[in-house]
Chain A
Amino acid sequence: MAAASDSLAQSVDLREPSGWRRSKNQIMTVLMWLAFVIVLIPLGFVLVTLVAKGADAISWQFLTNSTIPPNVLPLGVGGMGAAVVGTLEITGFATLLAVPLGVLGAVYLNEYGGNGILARLISFMSSVMTGVPSIVMGLFIYIIWVAHFGYSGMAGSFALACLMLPIVIRSSYEMLRLVPDSLRQGSYALGATKARVTLTVVLPAALSGIVSGALLAVARAAGETAPLIFTVLTVEQTNPNLFSGPDTSLPLQIFSNAQSAYTGANARAWGAALTLVAITFILMIVARIITALFTRNTR
């Protein structure tokens, strides 16, 4: 017996991994950390530049003055108020279109479609659609709407809504899948119809997850430029009417001012960029807080 366990101990190498294997492991661990640091560099760089240059530009006047001055003028004149209003209007209307439709689509996928071929196709194509370039959405809305009815903030909202729709469907679908079936069955047992169960039991149970997913979609849409270039156009005055006439938005102003050679225009671009990033960060943080509350509740 003793001899047998001796030979077993000899055949299994219980020593620490040998030099090279250990160094290789350490090198790889260092490389993984390095990958993370490499990403931090541009992120830190862009955020520091953004805050440093943007803070100089931002003032109450900058955020509210409704006339965007010509590129040659220095920073003190006019402001980006028109673009702030445009961004809020266009993104807000896009949210009104895309979130209800996206949640309904997710309800179809999870509550009605089941494992049917149509539901699987829609589910698959909506994840494919999240990869469609935003510029193509802009072209599409240009062809079917702008070419017939002219430029407007609403056309931009349509393009952004096309972009948000699959994102909202995917994130809501994931959330609906987490709702326990016992909740549904309990409600059916009480004699509720399917629509009622969905509206009063399933959706409220998944609400916080759906809201945080929707906010992330809104944050993404708020920063999009490409779908707006030839749906909204760019004007220098506040356009209070979302439904007709060209409008403007922060991303569009950043895009046009970034290409200018004048320092005044560049400074305005940084100010607009800081405003835009602040808006998207706030949306993202709100989404995170909602998610955090949600996970604590379910635990």
Chain B
Amino acid sequence: MSAATKADPATPAGSANALNRRRPLGDRGFQILALAAGLLVLVILVLITVTTAQQSTTWFSGGFKDIFQVAFDGNTHFGAMGVLFGTVISSVIGIIIGVPVSVGIALLLTQVVPARWARPFVYVIDLLAVVPSVVWGLWGIIVLVPWLQKIYLDIASGVKGIPVLDSLFGGPNVTGASFFTAGLILAIMITPIITSLSREVIATVPDIDKEGAYALGATRWEMIRGAVWPHSQGGVVGAILVGFGRAMGETIAVALVIGDSVEVTSHLFYSGHSIAAIIALQFGEANGGEFRSALIGLGLVLFVLTILVNLVARWFVERSSRRARGE
């Protein structure tokens, strides 16, 4: 397992470049083409930042007072706080429900189910990822929302008067299309990505560590706690953050089930809104002026947020995979 056996295989790059001057035109042309395609990623990311920033100056120049308010009515109020709250709260609900399930499945597929039987299970989880966002939204609005509405009303009347629970799950405006419904749909939608990234990380745990734990008399769960978890912790945190980023950016399913009203409230069964959903639903009506500028500005806010979350997430994942390789 020394570093020498894992020597960098990409050495031919150097040897070919050494012949640079004598290389045929087509050969150099191909290299430039490949470089351009690679650079396209950076170009697109920079262009997104620049163009959205440029188009949203009207909104940003409105000043802090405008942006740091809750209301967003498309007329005189263009606050970011209400929709930002909806984005964060629905994603957090999605994470709270989705993470235990995803990590549980990842452990099941790597530690419990024998490797050769794991494949069909993986296919089933991948099916979740193939069902398009809009189909989850359609199912959510037509099937899930009316059904959940009754359950929410029962819960709301059940918790009436109980201090904390009442302000979370109670209240007079309980409705089927709400923060919580959006969170539930998000939990389903981010499970495949968290599961597959966690599986990758957990699969790198050396067998020798696991066998060592068993040799000491550990049960499987104790082995997971003692050998698997410490090794894959960082990577799993990264996977969760990637899932959080996905949840924040999820648009159509959330737009259909979150209920289309901008507010900040502790009541999870109330209808709300999210950044992505408000852009999707209202951009068509925003014919120029501050309205359009504000929606593009919200897009920029969402872009920057998800980029930051993903940067941290990838840093966690890469660090843990570097550690797994023993660097």
Contact = CB atoms under 8 A, between A and B. Distances in A.
B222 A25 contact: yes
Interface residues of A, number: 98
A280 B130 contact: yes
Given A101-B37, A258-B141, A269-B138, A134 B101 contact: no
Nearest to A25: B219
Contacts of B42: 121-122, 125
B121 interface: yes
Interface stretch (B48-56, B63-71, B153-161): B48-56
Contact of A132 (B102, B112, B137, B303): B303
Interface string A195-217: 11011000000000000000000
Contacts of B249: 131-136
Interface string A12-24: 0100010001101
Contacts of B174: none
A181 interface: yes
A254 B132 CA distance: 11
Nearest to B24: A193
Given A24-B221, A194-B27, A223-B135, A288 B123 contact: yes
A293 interface: no
Contacts of B112: 29, 32-33
B327 interface: no
Q: How large is the interface on B (under 10, 10 to 19, 20 to 34, 35 or more residues)?
A: 35 or more
B149 to A, nearest CB: 16
Contact of B132 (A49, A139, A251): A251
Contacts of B309: 131
Interface in A33-83: 33-36, 38-40, 42-43, 45-47, 49-50
Contact of A226 (B34, B128, B133, B142): B133
A116 to B, nearest CB: 9
**Main secondary structure on B side of the interface with A:** helix
A31 B13 contact: no
Contact of A195 (B13, B30, B280): B30
Interface string A143-183: 11000000000000000001001100100000000000100
Interface string B115-142: 0000001011111111111111111011
B49 to A, nearest CB: 10
B261 to A, nearest CB: 15
Contact of A135 (B132, B302, B311): B302
Given A143-B296, A165-B44, A188-B16, A105 B256 contact: no
Nearest to A128: B310
B9 to A, nearest CB: 5
A64 to B, nearest CB: 22
Interface in B240-270: 242, 245-246, 248-252, 256
B289 interface: no
A136 B314 CA distance: 20
Scoring B8, B14, B44, B309 by chain A CB atoms within 10 A of each residue's CB, the highest score goes to: B44
A152 B303 CA distance: 24
Contact of B15 (A38, A128, A188): A188
Given A28-B220, A133-B302, 18 more contacts: A25-B220, A33-B112, A105-B38, A128-B311, A130-B310, A131-B313, A132-B45, A132-B307, A143-B52, A181-B9, A195-B26, A196-B27, A220-B129, A226-B133, A251-B134, A258-B134, A269-B142, A276-B132
6 contacts: A22-B219, A24-B221, A35-B100, A105-B40, A107-B34, A255-B134
Interface of A: 13, 17, 21-22, 24-25, 28-29, 31-36, 38-40, 42-43, 45-47, 49-50, 101-102, 104-105, 107-115, 118-119, 121-122, 124-137, 139-140, 142-144, 162, 165-166, 169, 181, 184-185, 188, 193-196, 198-199, 219-220, 222-226, 229-230, 251, 254-255, 258-259, 266, 269-270, 273, 276-277, 280-281, 284, 288
Which 10 A-B pairs have CB atoms at the shortest separation, nearest pair first?
A133-B249, A223-B132, A35-B104, A104-B37, A195-B30, A25-B219, A108-B34, A131-B310, A108-B38, A226-B251
